[in-house]
Amino acid sequence: MNVLVVGGGGREHAICWKLTQSKKLGNLYCAPGNPGISAFAKCVNIRVENIPALIDFALNNDIGLTIIGPEVPLSMGIVDEFEKAGLKVFGPSREAALLESSKSFAKEFMRRYAIPTAAYEIFYDKNEALSYLKDKKFPVVIKADGLAAGKGVIIPKNLDEAKIALEEILVSRVFGNAGSKVVIEDFLAGEEASFLVFVDGSNIIPMVSAQDHKRVFDNDQGPNTGGMGAYSPAPVLNKAIENDTINNIILPVVAGMAQLGKKFKGVLYAGLMITIDGPKVVEFNCRFGDPETQVILPRLKSDLLEILIACADGKANTVTAEWDTRPAACVVMSSGGYPGKYESGTEINGLEDAGKLQNTMVFHAGTAEIDGKVVTNGGRVLGVTAIGNDMRAAVDTAYRAVSIISFQGAHYRKDIAKRAFNR
């Protein structure tokens, strides 16, 4: 079967890498792809937002399955358009993707179906929000309603910081239209974890747990990013909490979305806070997480393509997923200054040597090729991933690979999986 992967980051690199291990795979294409992906797939220069061009490519190249990586085309309705064209596609419809593209929709949905999450209110007006916050206990969580590339969440410690956050989101519109309204939530204390499942509309196939590192600096300091690293499994998400999550969060979401006529197919990602009262939802994503995918897929022993086809066909109950018991860790190397301003176009050295280390994968997140050289082309540049017999071995191997790679201004956290070690 010919397969098209839509996207060009570390998540899509991991997906393409895994797909090449399938006996069912014919030609593999990725749009737009990146220099790392080009080792596994033919990269096609089509932007993820150019849905008509992607459909034409799929029709003209006998694509049997298209896999949508990023959230933006999902929120634009790419799955609906592909299905209208008679094409098989893995991912949720535009309406189902509201779970990620609209924080207010997700919170109202959870309230309606009694899914555990933080108490919240929704505001369009800065002054009304400030009036509400005068009686609130800080810290609170302020979220831009729409998609903001993982950066639309601010946690003010007092009213002055909240004023600045509301001014930035609702008035200055630093997140564009994503900030037309905000969700203000009570702060949840606990430890975060990510739990992803494959969904076919009714049935689920759980993945192994993961935990990512959102803050840019060690010890969870500095601003939020799209993710500075990840590891799997997350010890905080033990078997009992996993069962609780499946029964009280995942299955009610799948059933509730179907009841609303927004049947969910694709990857459902629950960002959880493990509190003293059990797991509560921080956010939903409607696709593979990034960088969680880079530690989850290396642990998948089953055929990924087989699973994705079964989900697209509504037959997830006909396949199973087998997982490697060994843990995996991923260290994200970013451009200096990220998630603020950063420079691109800097040559990256050591990629080939780092990739030769046993049980190591170097996933390209933001790279480009200029005159035969791989250069930086984004905030998050690489996801350096390793598997080990235990978490310490996985982390040490990943950092060994990181030490071989260099580019001007390279930044990475040095405490990946610290919480796992503390346990």
pLDDT tens-digit series, residues 232-264: 999 999 999 999 999 999 999 999 999 999 999
User: How sure is the predictor about 159, in pLDDT bands with cuts at 50, 70 and 90?
Assistant: very high
Q: Is residue 149 part of a domain?
A: yes
The last residue of one of the domains, among 275, 295, 318, is 318
The last residue of one of the domains, among 318, 352, 370, is 318
pLDDT value at residue 172? 84
pLDDT value at residue 150? 65
pLDDT for 69 beyond 90: yes
pLDDT value at residue 179? 82
289 with 236, same domain: the answer is yes
291 with 219, same domain: the answer is yes
Q: Is residue 391 part of a domain?
A: yes
Share above pLDDT 90 across residues of the chain, in percent, rounded to a whole number = 89
pLDDT tens for residues 312-327? 999 999 999 999 999 9
55 with 129, same domain: the answer is no
The last residue of one of the domains, among 291, 318, 345, is 318
User: What is the number of helices (H) and of strands (E) in the chain?
Assistant: 15, 22
Q: Is residue 120 part of a domain?
A: no
Q: Is residue 164 part of a domain?
A: yes
72 touches 247 (CB < 8 A): no
Q: What is the mean pLDDT of residues 188-210?
A: 96
Q: What is the DSSP string of 86-105?
A: T--EES--TTTTHHHH-HHH
pLDDT tens for residues 276-311? 999 999 999 999 999 999 999 999 999 999 999 999
199 touches 252 (CB < 8 A): no
pLDDT tens for residues 376-385? 999 999 999 9
Q: Is residue 414 part of a domain?
A: yes
18 with 65, same domain: the answer is yes
Q: How far apart are CA 49 and CA 18, in angstroms?
A: 24
Q: How far apart are CA 419 and CA 192, in angstroms?
A: 10
pLDDT tens for residues 140-151? 999 988 887 766
pLDDT tens for residues 46-68? 999 999 999 999 999 999 999 99
Q: Is residue 323 part of a domain?
A: no
Q: What is the mean pLDDT of residues 83-98?
A: 98
CATH of the domain at 402: 3.90.600.10
- 129: domain range? 125-180
pLDDT value at residue 50? 98
Q: How far apart are CA 79 and CA 219, in angstroms?
A: 39
224 with 313, same domain: the answer is yes
Instruction: Report which of 367, 384, 385 is spatially closest to residue 376, judged by C-alpha positions.
Output: 367
Number of independent structural domains in the chain: 4
CA neighbours closer than 13 Å in the CB half-sphere of residue 37: 30
64 with 151, same domain: the answer is no
Amino acid letter for position 260? L
313 with 195, same domain: the answer is yes
Name the more confident of 290 and 152: 290
Instruction: Report which of 187, 173, 164, 109 is spatially closest to residue 144, judged by C-alpha positions.
Output: 173
